Structure 1
Amino acid sequence: MKLIQLFSVLLFFTLSFWSANGQEKTVGENDKFLKETIYNENRVKVLNFSLKEFDALFFEFFDKKSNPNLVLTKQEFYTYTIQIAAFSDRLAALYPDQKQIAAENKKKWFAENYEDYLFSKASQKK
């Protein structure tokens, strides 16, 4: 039950974030390569995360992202977003009836863009 609640909260934050962003943006080839590399390096580790470990990762990312005095590097930013995306694979395996939602969630976290993050950081300082 707790996992379903977490999944619902995660989906809510994800949908809220993308509706605020509006348009989809293209990611440069370097970012795509970096994301794929991070995914391949972290996939197995993330698939073995407990719910507690995922919660810690998820909230650590949002704490750092919302801290106006901290700017994540591109590597750090994508490591968080791709690990969160990879956890959707675990949810899809555990809850086959939620596969489509998990796939959409994974796609949206993969679509996170570092330049958008930097823009939001600049807006925070104003």
Structure 2
Amino acid sequence: MQGLNPEEYTVLNSIPGIGKVYSAGILAEIGSVKAFQNANSLAKYCGIIWNDNDSGDFEAEDKRMSKAGNSYLRYYIIEATGSVIRHCPEYERFYQKKYAETRNHQHKRALALTSRKFIRLLYGLLDKSQLYSPEK
């Protein structure tokens, strides 16, 4: 078994709110980000996607999150997102916006949508081996 890549570990630790435990857990469950074609495939692997609940012309508003995927990685991603929301104003604004837009299950839905945004950041940084730099 191969150990953690120190470069990827450093990249994750550059994100505000992500500490040693979240970095190690995420990297241990992902393996190599190169195994994924894009951020959507990583999100699908995490199980942070929604099942379609549609039939004919009916389109459901309240869709359930898929429970397929790596439950340990889903746990680390969602917990890390909560920490990033507390430490990064951009993510806090995004969370608040999604919270206000949602009628049912506001916290869970807003946290899941913010987790998808976090996965896109994670994939982009790891794919390019780039340190996090906040938006201005």
TM-score past 0.5 threshold: no
Select the structure of larger CA radius of gyration. 2
Higher relative contact order (CA 8 A, sep 6+): 2
Instruction: Name the structure with the higher helix share.
Output: 1
